[in-house]
Every structure is written in structure tokens, then in C-alpha cells.
Amino acid sequence: MKITDVKTILANRYLFVEIHTDEGLVGIGESGTCGFLDASTGAVETLKTYLIGQDPLRIEHHWQYMYRCWHFRGAAIMGAISAIDIALWDIAGKFYDTPIYNLLGGRCRDKARVYAHAGGKTTEETIANLKKMKAQGFTAIGHLTPFLDESRGDPYFITHAKEIGEAIERIGAYREAVGNDVDLCIEVHRRLKPNDAIVFAQGIAPYLPYFIEDPIGADNFDSMAQVADKINVPIATGERLNNLQEFAMLIKRNAVSYVRPDVCMCGGITGAKKIAALAEAHDLMVVPHNQLSPASTAACLQIAVSIPNFALLEYPGDDQPALSEKFGATGVENGVLKRDVVKSTFKCVDGFMEIPTAPGIGIELADNVAEKYPYCRRPLKTRLHVDGSGVDQ
């Protein structure tokens, strides 16, 4: 069996990759490069020059070849490698007529616990969404920002005391709203500096958050370790990292409790499996980052059910639009839901998602998806402070 074509499909806010073979098998994958899908598309086109004519079942070899062919790497390239890797695994599963997890050692569990999203522009709106998610059966709810989902178009200013004080009170209100029947996954989105993050985390500890995600920027592992050393709330991070070595450096510093690889960014199923094994060796749990299309969810589920140290899977909802413009970003939603870009999705009951049973990744793109849902580039918008400087959000 040989690869005959590698196609990029830009649809709505997503970049998919299709790999075709001379035996008629077609694999699909997705790139997690978000606002830079055009750059990732270019990377796929370059990698295509190597892949044509290759045996698609030599997945590890192709991964190593693509990863090592340049002196420079980055998110756009790793998103491309990830999408290709997922598509190759999809082909392998279809070739052997089995879900991918059976090629990874089989199922460790029969379903995957997920956490839903409950954002809001006000405390009241967020609490209403929390209660709604709880009523739907979710036992873990995330994307809970203590700073609310404010527009990036609004200039930002607030005193330290008001910012941290209100944030702590808000987490207390979230806990009071749902009691201890729901685990709260707190999303900070790298908005704080180390000292502020320490004060905030110490303040919310009595409310027993499941984790605090990205309390500071993900670039400085030493700073993350500084925060982790001074707080009693578990840190979840890793969605912005794109290779195994970055996760190793983070773990070596005891800077993380819940490892968050993005299957569409960290090297695909091959990369995520290695990161999960690294985490297992250090007694750490894995919470896959999953904010893209149902194709990403399908790939994440293959990992979730095949590793022993899986904790939770992020599930933003297939009946929701692309997250690239939600939660305080700018732009106009076009009415396209995640489920629209695929032929079918997976059921979620009482906070647990069913696992794929079809061969390969277990999901197929909708027919003519690019024509039905034209590509919309994510607009560039960074929030500014009232003094004109950039603000993390």
C-alpha cells in the first residue's frame, strides 16, 4: 500500500488533512494551529513531497523523518505533523479493520469522563451555565475563568486587590452553586504573573478546585515550578507545548500535576502516547486539550481509552460553534456548529463519552465540507491595557 495524495481541507475554523492510498483507504487528521492554519497548510504541502509513494503503515518512521528534517520547528509545523500522524493512524485502523486504540494496546476503560465548558460574561451568567451543565449530568465542568469572558476589544484596567479579591470570591460562588458533586476546572489562560498566581491559588484552595489551568504563561518552566512549589492547588498545563522534550522539562521541575497535550499539536497520536507514558512514569495524570472539531475529539478518545493515567477529556460540546471566537474573542459567529463538519459524533451521557467503535479514528468529515462551510481565518485581536500595552487573555 502506498500514499497517493495528501490533501489539505480548510473548512470554517479548521484545518483537516486527508491522506489517500492506492488501496482506496483514506485517513483524516486535524491541525491544532488555530489562528495560523494557513501556515500549517503550507507545512503540510511541504511534507507532502516526502509522503507521496510511502507506505502509510510506517507511522513511527514517518513521524521521525518529518520531525527531524529541519533545524527549526514550531507550532505550524507540529500542527501539520500532528494532522498527518492522526490521518496515518486512521488509515492503519481501517487497514486492520479496528479502532486505533486496539493498535495501541487495547482499552483501559469502556468510556471517557469529560468536562464541559461553562463560560460567561458575568458571574450570574457563568453560574447559570454551571447549573445547566450539572443538570445535564456533567460531574466536571471547566473553562471556568475567575476573570469572566470579557471582550478583547475593551481596554483593561483593574487594581490588584479588586482583580484577585473578586476572582477568589467568584470561585467561591461557583462552588456554592454546584456543591461538591461537580469538580471545578479553573481556566486562567496565562493571565497572571507568578506572584499574583500564588496569591490567587492560595485564596481558592478552600473551594477544592480539580486544577488551575495555565495560571501563568507557559513559556518559562522555572516560573511555573515557582508557582507550583508555593500552592496546594494542582496545576494543569501543556496545551501550548508541542514536543516531548518540553513536557519532560516541565515534569522534571515538578511544575505540573495534570499534563495537557493537544493531540492536534503535540505530534498527533504518536506524540500524545509518548507524552502520556512520560507522565505515567512520574505518577501524573493526563487531561487532553481538545478545543477543535469532533475530529480532534475522536483522536483524543483513542488516547483517553488506551492509557492508564487518563483523568478527564475536555469537551466543549459538538452543538457549539468553533471556540476560536468564543469566550471573549472578537468576530461574528457564522452559525456553523462543530457537529456540522462531520457525519456523526459521539454520545455523552452523565458526564462520560462513548468511545469510537468504527475502524480507524472513528469519524468522517461531512461531504463537501470545504464548500459547505468556507474557511474563515481567525482575526488577529490582542486585548490592550488602558495604557496601550498588551494584556494576556
Q: Left if phi > 0, otherwise alpha if psi is -120 to 50, otherwise beta: which for 196? A: alpha
Indicate if 189 belongs to the active site.
yes
Nearest to 289 by CA among 330, 250, 236: 236
Give the Cα separation of 148 and 168 in Å (integer). Answer: 12
Q: Considering 61, 143, 189, 282, which one is annotated as catalytic?
A: 189
Distance CA 109, CA 348 (A): 15
Give the Cβ contact number of residue 183 at 10 Å: 20
Characterize the bridge pairing of strands 352-354 and 348-349.
Answer: antiparallel
Choosing from 20, 117, 143, 289, the catalytic residue is 289
Q: Which of 158, 163, 205 is nearest to 186 (CA)?
A: 205
Helical H segments across the chain, by residue range: 37-51, 59-68, 75-95, 123-135, 160-178, 194-204, 221-230, 244-252, 268-281, 294-304, 369-372
Instruction: Reduce the DSSP state of residue 143 to 3 states and report it.
Output: strand
In the chain the first and final C-alpha atoms are separated, in Å, by 47
**What does the alpha-carbon distance between residue 330 and residue 346 come to, in Å, rounded to a whole number?**
29
Q: Is 60 left (phi over 0), alpha (psi -120 to 50) or beta?
A: alpha
61 catalytic residue (yes or no): no
Q: Extract the C-alpha cell encoding 216.
A: 501563568
How far apart, in whole angstroms, are the C-alpha atoms of residue 245 and residue 268? 15
Residues carrying an active site annotation:
189, 289
